[in-house]
Amino acid sequence: MIDIRQATLEDVPEITAIYRDTIRTINSNDYSEKQIQVWSSGADDLQEWKDRIQSTYFLVAEIKNQIVGFSYLINGNHMDGLYIHKDFQRRTIGSKLLRIMESRASVNGFEVLKSDVSITAFDFFDSHYYEVDKKKKKSYKGLAFETFAMYKDL
C-alpha cells in the first residue's frame, strides 16, 4: 500500500538520502562519475530542501511509514523533481506521484505539465505520454547535463 502525503521539514533527511542514493545508483548508468558527484551533492544543501518543502507542492510516497519517493511542483505546472528510492523502482510509485502532479496542475488551471527530464527518466515519461519539446543541456554547478524538456497536455 502506497500512502501519499505532503512533505514536512522532518522528512528532509529521508528525502535527501533518496535523492543522493537514486542519483548515485540509478542515474550512474547514463551520466559520468563527475556529473553524478556534482548532481548528488545537491542533497547537501539542507536549507534548499527545506525551502522547497515550504514553498512548493511537495509530496512524499510512503510504504509502511518509510519514504520511498517524492515529487514536487514549481510555478504550478513544472515538475522539478520526481525521485524514487533505488530499492523501490518499478513498483508504480513514480506513476502514482506523476498522476497526482498532473491532477494538481490541472486543478490549478494549467493545460500542460512540464518537466526537465534526465536521460535515465526519459523512457518513464515517454511511457506516460509525455512529448519532447526539446533536447537541451542544463548547467548545474558548472557542469552540463543532457536533459529533455518534456510536456504533457492535460
Give the pLDDT confidence of 50-103 residue by residue, as tens digits: 999 999 999 999 999 999 999 999 999 999 999 999 999 989 999 999 999 999
Question: Is residue 74 in a domain?
Answer: yes
Cβ-based neighbour number of residue 121 at 10 Å: 22
Residue 107: its pLDDT value, please? Answer: 94
Q: pLDDT category, 150, cuts 50, 70, 90?
A: very high
Structure confidence at residue 139 (pLDDT): 84
Nearby residues of 135 by Cβ (< 8 Å), 6 or more positions away: 146, 147, 148, 149
Is 85 within a domain? yes
d(CA 25, CA 5): 26
pLDDT at 142: 86
Torsion, CA 53, CA 25, CA 85, CA 21, rounded to 10: -40
Q: Give the number of domains in the chain.
A: 1
Is residue 121 included in any domain, yes or no?
A: no
Residue 87 within a domain: yes
Question: Could you tell me what percent of the chain has a pLDDT over 70?
Answer: 100
List the one residue out of 120, 73, 80 whose CA is nearest residue 100. Answer: 73
CATH number of the domain within which 32 lies: 3.40.630.30
Global model pTM greater than 0.75: yes
Domain that holds residue 17: 3-110
Averaged pLDDT, 20-44: 95
In a domain, 95, yes or no: yes
In a domain, 117, yes or no: no
Per-residue confidence band for 138, with pLDDT thresholds at 50, 70 and 90: confident
Contact partners, residue 49, CB within 8 Å, separation at least 6: 12, 15, 16, 43
Query: Counting beta carbons within 10 angstroms of the beta carbon of residue 66, is it exposed (0 to 12), middle (13 to 18) or buried (19 or more)?
Result: exposed
Quick check: is 123 in a domain? no
Measure the CA angle with vertex 20, ends 128 and 27; round to 5°. 45
Question: Does residue 141 form part of some domain?
Answer: no
pLDDT at residue 140 in the model: 85
Query: Once rounded to an integer, what is the mean pLDDT over residues 127-136?
Result: 96
